[in-house]
Amino acid sequence: MTEPREKLELLTVRDLDAGYGDAQILWGVSLGIAQGEIVGLLGGNGAGKTTLLNIISGLNSPKTGSIHYLGEEITHVNTYNRVRSGITQIPEGRQLFPGLTVRQNLLLGSFSLADKSRVPEELDFVFDLFPILSERQKQLAGTLSGGEQQMCALGRGLMSNPKLILVDELSLGLAPVAVERIVEALKKVYREKSLSILVVEQDVHLCLELSTTAYVLETGHIVKQGPSEELAKDPQIRKSYLGI
C-alpha cells in the first residue's frame, strides 16, 4: 500500500463534541481521510461510531468542532447538499425503501446526479458488480435477502458517483459468504473508481483487512490510531478486540 499521509486530505474532522440531549457521545474526536484512502473506524457497541458517521453525512449536528471537505468547511451544510458534493452514506441495517422496487431504489441513489444522462452508465456499473440485482430489478426491495439488500444499499450509494462513501456496519447480520461477496465488490469498486471509503465495523478482522489507516473509538474518545497493519499487531487491540 502507498503512504496515505502524503496524499491530499479529502475530509478532516476536528475536535468534535456531540451527543443527544444531556448525553454526550463524542468527546473531541478528530479524524482525517486522504483522497483514495480506505479508513477504518473500530469500536464496540455504543462507542459512538454511527453518531460520528451521521455527523459526517449531516444527519446529526455536532455541539462543537468542525468538518472540512475538499478544503471547505461543511459543518453546517445540509445532508442533501453533502450528498450532491459527493459524500454518500450506506446506512446501518441497509435502510432501503422496502415498498419500492430494486430499480427504483437504485434510481433514488442517482437523485443527486446533476447529469441524469449518466444514469444508465451507473446502473450498468452496479448491475455488473452485482448481477443478482439486475435479475431482481422489478422485485420489491423489502423482499430481498439480507445479503441482497446490502448489495442493493451499496449499489444505491454508488449510483450518485460519490467521492467518499461512508459504510456503516457492512457485515451486520449477514452470513459470512455474503460478507465476503460484498467485501470483494467493495474492493473492486475501490480499484475501478477513484473514491475514498470510511468503513465503520464491529468486525475488527474485516475492518483492519480492508483499511490502510484505522481509528479506534472507545466511549466517544479516539484511543488509538495508525496504519491498519500496525494496529493489527498491537497487543492491546489483539487482546480486547480480536480475543487473542
Q: Given candidates 9, 19, 36, 59, which one binds another protein under the rule CB under 8 A?
A: 59
Among 75, 79, 134, 202, binds another protein (CB under 8 A): 79
Give CA–CA dist 198/104, Å, rounded.
26
Pinpoint the alpha helices (H) of the chain.
49-57, 79-84, 102-109, 119-129, 131-135, 146-158, 176-192, 204-210, 228-233, 235-240
83 binds another protein (CB under 8 A): yes
Q: Is 228 in the site for another protein (CB under 8 A)?
A: no
223 binds another protein (CB under 8 A): no
Q: Minimum CB separation from another protein for residue 225, in Å?
A: 27
The smaller minimum CB distance to another protein, of residues 2 and 143, is found at 143
Closest distance of CB 30 from another protein, Å:
24
* Contact status: 172 vs another protein (CB under 8 A): no
Q: How far apart are the first and last CA of the chain?
A: 26
**47-57 burial: b if 16+ Cβ within 10 Å, else e:** bbbbbbbbbbb
138 binds another protein (CB under 8 A): yes
Q: Is 95 in the site for another protein (CB under 8 A)?
A: yes
**Is the four-CA dihedral 20, 24, 25, 26 of positive or negative sign?**
positive
Give the residue among 176, 39, 173, 33 at the shortest CA–CA distance from 95. 173
Contact 206, 179 (CB under 8 A): yes
| 64 sits near another protein (criterion: CB under 8 A) | no
The pattern of x and - marking residues 102 through 121 that bind another protein according to CB under 8 A reads: --x--xxx-xx---x-----
Q: Establish if 160 lies at the interface with another protein (CB under 8 A).
A: yes
Stretch that binds another protein, among 4-12, 42-50, 100-108, 219-227 (CB under 8 A): 100-108
* Torsion sign (Cα): 28, 172, 124, 112: negative
Contact 123/173 with Cβ under 8 angstroms?
Answer: no
Q: Which residues bind another protein (CB under 8 A)?
A: 57-59, 78-81, 83-84, 88-89, 91, 95, 97-100, 104, 107-109, 111-112, 116, 138-139, 143, 156, 160
